[in-house]
């Protein structure tokens, strides 16, 4: 019996499955950190952190204080449910989310006593997987006492807890509906500057600002603008109600290094200005450099062995 050749059946039985497999593989590739470019993956998933030191002039008690600010950016596997770094990410399944973590520190001296402040922000790398920053923490220590604040994403709200040695602040808990966070915008710049909000928006101001100015956290109206030069962009956040603006300068080209920032704030008729300018940068897996033999690396960041 002679079988008639049917090219259409051949296409359905052989070529179509191959085509579908190819499309499925392409779709899968696109779904893996779909918000992220290949350049980003090669830069941020190489097993290192980016450590940046800034020359800081921090306004405090009406005077500018010389100090150091550090910005450490690194990706890590994070638990969506527990909101902590995963010990065994390979066993976490769908609970695992890749985040860009920022650790921002400020160290400066006021007269005889020092300030030490630290902010941590955990922002999903893939905005499709997590459109909002999951967690913020802030600590401040000086000789008068300590302050700690934490912000956690819970469904459609940010749950904020705070602890302070000041009586009027004390221990507090409040819920704010999810909106932009000032403290996540640093990560947004590094992930994708095009995702930054522009125009009139609601923002929860930064935890450092709240601490130093003793202003309670709330959703605040802000005006956000971008000013582009040949190779730099200045992103400005203005809070009319606080007479405050924060201008962040970053590189237009990937990986969008943050060159510095200027914060101006008016309170009781007085204007206070804080500036930070990029000094040194180091790409390293710093967590493996914890022996005395690596103290020389602090010199490469413009840090002394004893301070900061």
Stated pTM of the model: 0.87
Q: Pick from 78, 88, 89: which is nearest to 153 by CA? A: 78
What pLDDT sits at residue 18?
39
Tell me the C-alpha distance between 157 and 179, whole Å.
Answer: 9
Number of residues assigned to the chain: 308
**What is the mean predicted confidence (pLDDT) over 67-91?**
96
In the predicted structure, residue 33 carries a pLDDT above the cut 70 = no
Question: Is there a contact between 301 and 280 (Cβ–Cβ < 8 Å)?
Answer: yes
Interval 134-164: pLDDT, tens:
999 999 999 999 999 999 999 999 999 999 9
Which among 138, 140, 173 is positioned nearest to 158, based on CA atoms?
173
pLDDT at 35: 53
> Is it true that the peptide bond before 255 is cis, omega within 30 degrees of 0?
yes
φ, ψ of residue 79 to 5 degrees: the values are -90, 120
36: confidence class by pLDDT, cuts 50, 70, 90: low
For residue 37, is pLDDT > 90? no
Q: Per-residue confidence at 304, pLDDT binned at 50, 70, 90? A: confident
| Lowest mean per-residue pLDDT among 26-40, 89-103, 164-178, 257-271 | 26-40
Residues 225-248: tens digit of each pLDDT: 999 999 999 999 999 998 999 999
How far apart CA 308 and CA 117 sit, in angstroms, is 10
Q: How far from chain centre, in Å, is Cα 146?
A: 23
Classified as helix, coil or strand, 232 is strand
Q: How confident is the model at residue 308 (pLDDT cuts 50, 70, 90)?
A: low
Burial status of residue 138 (CB atoms within 10 A of its CB: 0-12, 13-18, 19 or more): buried
Q: What is the pLDDT of residue 303?
A: 92
pLDDT digits over 261-297, tens only?
999 999 888 899 999 999 999 999 999 999 999 999 9
- Work out whether the CA dihedral 164, 166, 171, 174 comes out positive or negative: negative
Residue 210: strand, helix, or coil: helix
Identify the bridge partners of residue 64 per DSSP, sorted by sequence position. Answer: 59
User: Is residue 6 predicted with pLDDT exceeding 70?
Assistant: no
What's the mean pLDDT when you consider all of the chain?
89
Task: Reply yes or no on whether the pLDDT at 96 is more than 60.
Answer: yes
């Amino acid at each position: 019996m002679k079988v008639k050749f049917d090219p259409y059946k051949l296409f359905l039985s052989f070529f179509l499955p191959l085509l579908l497999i190819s499309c499925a593989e392409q779709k899968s590739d696109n779904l893996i950190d779909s918000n992220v470019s290949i350049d980003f993956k090669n830069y941020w998933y190489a097993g290192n952190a980016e450590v940046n030191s800034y020359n800081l002039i921090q306004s405090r008690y009406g005077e500018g204080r010389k100090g150091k600010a550090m910005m450490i950016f690194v990706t890590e596997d994070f638990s969506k449910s527990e909101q902590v770094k995963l010990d065994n990410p390979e066993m976490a399944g769908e609970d695992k989310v890749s985040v860009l973590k920022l650790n921002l520190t400020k160290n400066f001296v006021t007269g005889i006593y020092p300030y030490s402040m630290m902010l941590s922000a955990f922002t999903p790398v893939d905005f499709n997987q997590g459109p909002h920053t999951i967690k913020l923490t802030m600590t401040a220590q000086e000789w008068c006492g300590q302050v700690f604040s934490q912000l956690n994403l819970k469904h459609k709200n940010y749950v904020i807890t705070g602890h302070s040695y000041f009586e009027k602040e004390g221990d507090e808990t409040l819920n704010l509906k999810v909106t932009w966070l000032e403290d996540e915008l640093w990560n947004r710049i590094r992930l994708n500057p095009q995702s930054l909000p522009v125009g009139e928006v609601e923002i929860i101001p930064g935890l450092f600002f709240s601490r130093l100015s003793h202003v309670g956290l709330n959703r605040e109206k802000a005006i956000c603008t971008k000013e582009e030069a040949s190779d730099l962009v200045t992103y400005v956040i203005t809070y009319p109600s606080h007479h405050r603006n924060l201008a962040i300068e970053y590189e237009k080209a990937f990986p969008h290094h943050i060159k510095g920032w200027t914060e101006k704030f008016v309170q009781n008729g007085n204007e206070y200005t804080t500036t930070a300018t990029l000094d040194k940068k180091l790409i390293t897996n710093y967590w493996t450099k914890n022996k005395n033999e690596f103290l020389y690396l602090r010199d490469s960041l413009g840090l002394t062995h004893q301070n900061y």
